[in-house]
């Protein structure tokens, strides 16, 4: 089970580091232009905030376990990312159809699994 959790944590970390990094590096007007027609548009500052949260959450999924300090932070990072994904599940279908909610749903379920196995289960 520990190996499975590490694989999931690393894959989620890579996903969130990439997604958050793009939001932080790419100018907001280019991000808005790449969004599908009918998609919900957020302010530039909010997009940068979400990007920062995703990068920090991605780091929080792996660094506590790698350094073997404050391992409980992994569960908190997974919970924070789960909250972001719940927002994505709600917002994605608006203007894009229900199918757009499935990738964030799968990601949210993986975050919930990591949060449960790394923290809540052991409290």
What are the residue ranges spanned by the domains of the chain? Answer: 2-122
Given this model, what pLDDT does residue 2 score? 86
51 Cβ contact partners less than 8 Å away, ≥ 6 residues apart: 19, 20, 21, 22, 23, 24
pLDDT at 41 over 80: no
Q: CA–CA separation, 37 vs 97, rounded Å?
A: 11
75 pLDDT exceeds 60? yes
The per-residue DSSP string of 43-93 comes to: -HHHHHHHHHHHHHHHHHHHHHHHHTS-THHHHHHHHHHHHHHHHHHHHTT
Place of tokens 């991605």: 58
The mean pLDDT of 91-115, rounded to a whole number, is: 91
Please state the rounded mean pLDDT for residues 80-92. 94
Please tell me the distance from the alpha carbon of residue 107 to that of residue 85, in angstroms, as a whole number: 7
Claim: this prediction has a pTM higher than 0.85: yes
């Amino acid at each position: 089970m520990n190996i499975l959790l590490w694989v999931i944590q690393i894959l989620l970390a890579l996903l969130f580091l990439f997604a958050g990094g793009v939001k932080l590096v790419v100018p907001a007007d280019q991000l808005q232009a790449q969004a599908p027609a009918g998609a919900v548009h957020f302010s530039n500052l909010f997009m940068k905030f979400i990007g920062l949260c995703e990068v920090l959450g991605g780091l929080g999924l792996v660094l506590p376990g790698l350094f073997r300090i404050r391992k409980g932070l992994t569960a908190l990072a997974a919970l924070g990312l789960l909250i972001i994904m719940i927002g994505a599940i709600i917002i994605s279908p608006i203007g894009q159809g229900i199918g757009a909610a499935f990738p964030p749903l799968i990601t949210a379920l993986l975050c919930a699994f990591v949060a449960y196995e790394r923290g809540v289960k052991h409290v």
